[in-house]
A and B are shown apart, each in its own frame.
Chain A
Amino acid sequence: METNDAQPAARPLIVLTRWFDPSVAIAFGCIVVLLLLGSLYSPSFLSPEYLLQQLKVASFLGVIATGMMLVILLGQIDLSVPWVVALGGMMSSAIAAWGPVGEALAIPFGIGCGIGIGLLNGIGVAYLRIPSMIITLAMNAVVQGLMVVHTGGFSPQDSASAAMRFLATGFIIPNVPNSVLVWAVIGGLTIFVLTRTTFGRAIYAIGNSERAAYLSGAPTQRVVMATFAISGGLSAFAGVLLAGYASKAAQAMGDPYLLPAIAAVVLGGTSILGGRGTYLGTVAGVILITLLQSILSVMQIAEAGRQIIYGVVIIAMMLLYGRERSASNR
């Protein structure tokens, strides 16, 4: 009906807004504004080295936020991120200590552990119908317990394998850190899955209405379970990368990533209620959060001031474009 009414000139605009929804544009706009503000303070904020360094830091958050976004698109949430990240880092470096076989298996084993935990989360959410906020919270506590027993309460002694270090800090293409490449590959795959596969469409459909998706024949429970498994795997992979970056896993290494990951996804225009959002937005959100944290620390603002500004900026940006409709308009 609307195609009949639309002016010929208006059609490209509709296509354009579908590809590039306003919240993503605002998020990218905020990135530019942040960079300009930073460059007023110091011109080095616009140098390629600084920007690449930021992308490298952002890639860890980016990998985690990818999994978080998929889960949020379902209308669920994954609070098991902190210790699944630590699990990935610790398990991969623990296996790496087992000689050549261990070295080779380190990365897949770390990710596999994360997928396993994610799978359990998924079974809880999809088949036992436990609210995701609770089951992932409980699972986080269980994994924390497992890791405390594993390390004996001390910081783990195993160091990361050479492959993990290469993946996190090496360069295949000159000047482009490998971790950025890893994020790019994961991001590309995610865009493909979300826009070009039935699995991706099912994720959006479930986020809008799981009932409707079920009635239209989507295997909703399997999709939900698989999505949580992917999220767990990606969190653990980020842990593997982080362990490679610091050449060691650490207790609580994943703690600073949970809330920024959720914030990044939401700042990127993904609805926390599910069913709406683009991966490009998540990329923007991740870069935005990373830049904000970096600029605040470069300006040598004390931790207290950084936290306050961080919170105020998130609220201000959400007020710009993250508002819901009021009850009277629903």
Chain B
Amino acid sequence: MKDWRFLIREQRGTLIAMALFVVMFTIYVTNHPAGFTLNVVTTASNKGVLLAFVAMAQTLVVVTAAIDLSLGMIFVLTNCLASWLVAGSPLETAFGVVAVLAAGLACGMVNGLIVIYGRLQPIVTTIATGAIYFGIALLLRPVPGGEVNQDLADALTGKLFDRVPASLVALLAVVLLIWIPFRRSLTGRAAYATGSSEAAAYMSGVPIRRARFVAYSLAGLLAGIGGLFLTFFTYSGEASAANGNTYTLYSIAAVVLGGVSLFGGVGSAIGAIFGAFVFRTIGDLLFVFDLEPLWQPLFQGMVLLLAVCLGAFRLLQIRNRLDYFG
């Protein structure tokens, strides 16, 4: 009995995000003209997974009490790269996929190396590296275009066995292959320890540097997977600064909605995924309620603001006035 209480307490943010998503998606589906069909779910999941990948990436860095503002640009860069490489024969395509993922990983590693060994503040470092990644993306794709292996793209954006959206399966695979092993490893635990209190983690001999380096690198890799999927959805590459910035900012929003603390050490990528889904569903809700598209940004903003303000309820539990400033 007690174990359950601890578990629920630990995963509270994730559970709230899940509940929020279920409520919103139910409202969405029940008001959708087509109802709860596979096509509706596939479209929704295709829209959601892109942000979900970037939000997972952001989680890894945020857990170490830092933030990565270059993730949107890595997302755009890998999109541009994939529009060159992921095409042609199956072998060429496979090579392209590996190269794109390696590029994402490399971008994350560069971030990590500069932040850790250069001892620079993550916010500024990733602003600067983001500019570099965007520059490279522009070199690759001065104008939107390119192509992608359509069979692979259609397979990954369609339905698997005519039963489940393939993009959701891919997301699940990434969670199982990257997030769960990371979370359960010593390095992953060190990342959480670093985020909770770097000084205490250092004093206890936790491998801080390795934890942070792995967190940044995997974040780059996950953003790269996101970029790869963007290419599958659009069949092309585009070096769009607006797109990059939007994904960076939305990933922060998704992470917060998913119950990951920006102060570090609390939260999980699962929560961030549901945070991303919630954020996407907010936008979709407008269409089913037949509101003017003009009102969508305002509605999305208001819901985000409201969700953020709900966090203020924890103030009611504060007994000591000094805890206000903690």
Contact = CB atoms under 8 A, between A and B. Distances in A.
Given A131-B262, A148-B294, 20 more contacts: A79-B249, A124-B309, A130-B312, A133-B67, A134-B252, A138-B308, A141-B304, A142-B304, A145-B297, A149-B298, A214-B325, A215-B322, A259-B69, A302-B142, A304-B142, A307-B135, A308-B131, A311-B128, A318-B124, A327-B208
Interface string A98-134: 0000000000000000000000000010001111011
A326 B119 contact: yes
Given A266-B121, A307-B138, A259 B127 contact: yes
A316 to B, nearest CB: 9
21 contacts: A130-B309, A137-B304, A139-B301, A139-B305, A140-B301, A142-B302, A145-B300, A145-B302, A220-B325, A259-B130, A263-B128, A304-B139, A305-B135, A306-B135, A308-B131, A308-B132, A315-B114, A318-B120, A322-B121, A323-B118, A326-B119
Interface in A228-280: 252, 255, 259, 262-263, 266, 272-273
Contacts of A310: 128, 131, 135
Nearest to B307: A138
B287 interface: no
Nearest to A142: B301
How many of chain B's residues touch chain A, expressed as a range? 35 or more
B199 A148 contact: no
Contact of B119 (A133, A302, A304, A323): A323
A136 to B, nearest CB: 10
A305 B294 CA distance: 36
A138 B135 contact: no
Interface in B103-149: 114, 118-121, 123-125, 127-132, 134-136, 138-139, 142
Interface in A158-173: none
Contacts of B249: 79, 137, 140
A46 interface: no
B262 to A, nearest CB: 5
A18 interface: no
B4 interface: no
Contacts of A273: 121
A330 B199 contact: yes
Interface in A280-330: 302-312, 314-315, 318-319, 322-328, 330
A35 interface: no
A152 interface: yes
Contact of A263 (B124, B129, B262, B322): B124
A48 interface: no
Nearest to B318: A129
A259 B72 CA distance: 14
Nearest to A327: B202
Main secondary structure of the interface of B (DSSP, over half): helix
A21 B84 CA distance: 48
Interface string B231-252: 0000000000010010001001
Interface of A: 77, 79, 124, 128-131, 133-135, 137-146, 148-149, 152-153, 210-211, 214-215, 220, 252, 255, 259, 262-263, 266, 272-273, 302-312, 314-315, 318-319, 322-328, 330
Contacts of B161: none
Interface in B67-88: 67, 69
B304 A138 contact: yes
Contacts of B119: 323-326
B263 A129 contact: no
Given A152-B294, A307-B132, A323-B119, A262 B324 contact: no
Contacts of B284: none
B223 interface: no
Contacts of B295: 145, 149
Contact of A129 (B128, B130, B132, B312): B312
Contacts of B208: 327
Nearest to B142: A304
Interface in B291-325: 294-302, 304-305, 308-309, 311-312, 315, 322, 324-325
Contacts of B138: 302-304, 307
A168 to B, nearest CB: 25
Contacts of B273: none
Question: What are the 5 tightest A-B residue pairs by CB atom distance, in nearest-first order?
Answer: A145-B298, A307-B135, A141-B301, A308-B135, A311-B131
Contacts of B130: 259, 311
